[in-house]
Structure 1
Amino acid sequence: MREKSMAFTKRCRGLSRRDFLKTWALATSWVPGLGFFFNYDRPVSGESSSSWAKNSGLAFSGASNFSENYKFSPLHPHGGLPETRALLPEVKPKIALIFTHISPDKPTWPYLGYDYEARKKELTQKLTEALPGIDLVPLTLKSAEEAGRWLEKNLNFDGFVVYIVGIWTGAVEKIMASGQPTILIDDLYAGTGEFLIQYARAKREGKKVFGVASSRFQDVIEAVRSFEWLKKLSSSRLLDVTDSEGYWGDPKVIKEVFGIEVQKINSPAINDVYQRMNRAEAEKWANHWIRQAERVVEPTTEEIKKSGAMYLALLELLSQYRAQAITIDCLSLFYGGKLPAYPCLGFFQLNNDGLVGACEGDLPSTCLMLLSTYMAGRPGYISDPVIDTAHNQIIYAHCVAPNKVFGPTGRTNPYRLRSHAEDRKGAAVQSLLPAGEILTSVEFNCERREFVLHQAVSVGNVEEDKACRTKLAARVKGDINKLMGEWDRFGWHRVTIYGDYKKPIEMTASLLGLKIIYEA
């Protein structure tokens, strides 16, 4: 027992109890089932995450309740993680599970004498078992009048799931008119007529509704699960470090649409925290990044140590404000001598570990990175894309990118430590991102309340000294010439997620009442 404890302590490279707990608490993911543990010194390629946890004596399991399931093993005296419980959005949406049908003694779909009660019991059980992170409250409405009376007293839900198990109640239209975020489900061959008519009308009127008409029950589960990440978004706080009077994005719209609170912080505040950070601890992070890197190209060890101190400052601010994301107006502040180090390596670490560090004070992109974390369990990657029509490619370029694009427990890719590209100063990241993977890229326009979306397949990394350090090339799915048509309305940035997340983003947009522009 003592030997295992000592081995674990060695893994942590001498972190103090306070600093280890703080680092752990701020570097954990709250995505249900993710099973994330803090990986302090794992090789870029080598032992698996599960092997690392086992060999380190660390208890780790996938679960939806962090406070109950993510704890140190008895080998470690620190026990549970109170700081994490205080920081992360451990929230459970309350959703009305509304079944609609008329009396079984009337002839209609599915058929006369149908056992609605048995069907409702079956569906309720399946949904409850599949979605422990949602508080489902089942009820039945059989007419428009019943629906109206119920709605007068019951708008304190995070959303509705309307399951049409029989047709022509009139209740569905009444529920749609309430304007509440709603998943509308056709129990095939039972609710179809009313589903098709009411869903088409609701979509045309711009209601917050997403429809499911599928024989695959998993599609129902995935749609209803969207309420989990929406609840997490609305329970989140975003820090915006800037000296500008304005914002990149509109905090009021962000609050109205996503429920995310934006907290502005000026440069003296972050610099004060930076100056107070433990330099020995910062050096450990610098050494960690250097050891993990494929190679160090431009930055000096001293510059990387400054990045380590900046990373600790980011963690301190997130802890102080109980926030899950931070974005910094880094170019203006660093160019103006108001920031002692670029935050690129700190953002790299935050995004790898399940929190969000976002570039340039871009609030809309930061919100989308939070969405990616909650929705996919994977980091979003902000970039300034370049389009190459000769090769039907889009190149996602930036000086911050994760090397755990499949989430904190997913496989890693190599990276290099570089200087920041434009001014050739500081420390940044060139991440050599995986090829052969589908990518989903999205952006949000606050004024128009629209998403823009395209997809591509990664093909490799571009080695080019001009422009930002990381350059992920991808083959566009769709019309690359059309892809050049929306940049004036949505800006240069896009947030890219590894994986096919078109459908979940469509669900999100529908439930938030947003339109989607398909740009390719």
Structure 2
Amino acid sequence: MNQTVVRIIFWGRPKGRPKWPSIDFDPEKRAVEILKILKENLLGFKFVGGDLVRNSEEAEELLKVVGEEGEICSVIFNLSSGWHDSLKVMEKLPTVVVCDPFLWGYAGMIVHSANLRKRDVRGFIVSSSSWGDVFKAFKVIKAYDSLRNAKILVIGNHVLSADREVYEEAIKRIGGEIKFIGFRELREAFQKTDVQKAERIADDLIAKANKVIEPSRKEIVKSIRLYYALRNLCSKYGANGVSRLTVSEDSTEASFQHTHA
């Protein structure tokens, strides 16, 4: 499994300093606990950093190394009072700001969230008492990482029409690529598929199904052939996904959306 590299940063005033939630709260101990939870539950990630930033001086030192270890984004855990220079981190890397689930109730995140929107930074905030919500944020990071390396096959040069350039630029900006091909090429790839192989697979699927409600055997065979046609085209162009489309009747007489070959 390819690991997504993420920089983990902890924000918080040290134990013994006046702060929320209390002067005795130990952010260093909490940081160790959080890092352990992340490593045990998010196996598809490689975590770098893990620094506890206690003041603005340490934040400035951290900025010098942000982005230097191959990380694609950062995740900042706010453990106690004090935001320091989190916006500067966000200007260097897309960032998720997490209000530590142990301290999820404090209201500073509301002000922080408003400031982020005003600055138009690349990131979002998670403020929740549930670790499940924190893990969902990492799913977003994983999706972003996939898009950065994606080559998407779009069938039909007319697809996206007026918004085509905007869409292409948006994908390009995060590192992805779009390849447009016509329906003719899809039809040719469909016609080259092994009909007998598709029929054997269809019969096997039908035999193992508890019940076939709607598609006919003919439609199932066509869908299997279409799958192999798309997979072969993705292999030809080095693509790892096909965008949403509806295939015209004169091509394969099948419809599908968001198919991944």
TM-score (norm 1): 0.42
Aligned match of 1:185 in 70, 94, 98? 98
Change (3 A) 1:246 1:221: closer
The answer for the alignment partner of 1:106 in structure 2 is 17
Mapped to 2, the partners of 1:224 and 1:243 lie a distance apart of: 34
Cα displacement (A) at 1:207: 2.3
Change (3 A) 1:288 1:132: same
Aligned match of 1:253 in 169, 173, 176? 169
Could you list the runs of 5+ residues in structure 1 that have no partner in the other structure? Answer: 1-64, 66-90, 358-369, 371-520
Higher helix share: 2
Change (3 A) 1:289 1:125: closer
- Note if 1:124 corresponds to 2:35: yes
The answer for the alignment partner of 2:53 in structure 1 is 141
- Note if 1:284 corresponds to 2:200: yes
Give 3-state SS (helix, strand or coil) of 2:185's partner.
helix
Mapped to 2, the partners of 1:306 and 1:278 lie a distance apart of: 11
Within a 5 Å distance, the mapping from 1:434-453 to structure 2 comes to none
Give 3-state SS (helix, strand or coil) of 1:210's partner.
strand
Q: What does the per-residue CA deviation read over 1:416-459, in whole Å, with 9 as the maximum and x for residues that have no partner?
A: xxxxxxxxxxxxxxxxxxxxxxxxxxxxxxxxxxxxxxxxxxxx
Change (3 A) 1:192 1:319: same
Mapped to 1, the partners of 2:55 and 2:121 lie a distance apart of: 21
Cα displacement (A) at 1:216: 2.7
The answer for the alignment partner of 1:262 in structure 2 is 178
Q: Percent identity?
A: 22
Mapped to 1, the partners of 2:213 and 2:200 lie a distance apart of: 18
Please tell me whether the aligned partners of residues 202 and 224 of structure 2 are also in contact (alpha carbons under 8 angstroms). yes
- Note if 1:317 corresponds to 2:233: yes
Please tell me whether the aligned partners of residues 167 and 191 of structure 1 are also in contact (alpha carbons under 8 angstroms). no
Could you list the runs of 5+ residues in structure 2 that have no partner in the other structure? Answer: none
Give 3-state SS (helix, strand or coil) of 1:220's partner.
helix
Mapped to 1, the partners of 2:170 and 2:56 lie a distance apart of: 34
How many residue pairs get matched? 250
Q: What does the per-residue CA deviation read over 1:81-118, in whole Å, with 9 as the maximum and x for residues that have no partner?
A: xxxxxxxxxx3221111101234342222333432221
Mapped to 1, the partners of 2:65 and 2:150 lie a distance apart of: 28
Code of the aligned partner of 1:204: K
Code of the aligned partner of 2:130: R
Cα displacement (A) at 1:284: 2.5
Cα displacement (A) at 1:239: 1.0
Change (3 A) 1:270 1:223: closer
Change (3 A) 1:281 1:93: same
Change (3 A) 1:224 1:304: closer
The answer for the alignment partner of 1:174 in structure 2 is 88
Cα displacement (A) at 1:255: 0.9
Mapped to 1, the partners of 2:14 and 2:161 lie a distance apart of: 55
Please tell me whether the aligned partners of residues 147 and 176 of structure 2 are also in contact (alpha carbons under 8 angstroms). yes
- What is the CA RMSD across the aligned residues, in angstroms? 3.3
Name the structure, 1 or 2, with higher relative contact order (CA <8 Å, separation 6+): 2
- Note if 1:221 corresponds to 2:146: no
Code of the aligned partner of 2:81: I
Change (3 A) 1:343 1:316: farther
Mapped to 2, the partners of 1:170 and 1:264 lie a distance apart of: 46
Cα displacement (A) at 1:205: 3.1
Aligned match of 1:163 in 55, 65, 77? 77
The answer for the alignment partner of 1:115 in structure 2 is 26
Give 3-state SS (helix, strand or coil) of 1:233's partner.
helix
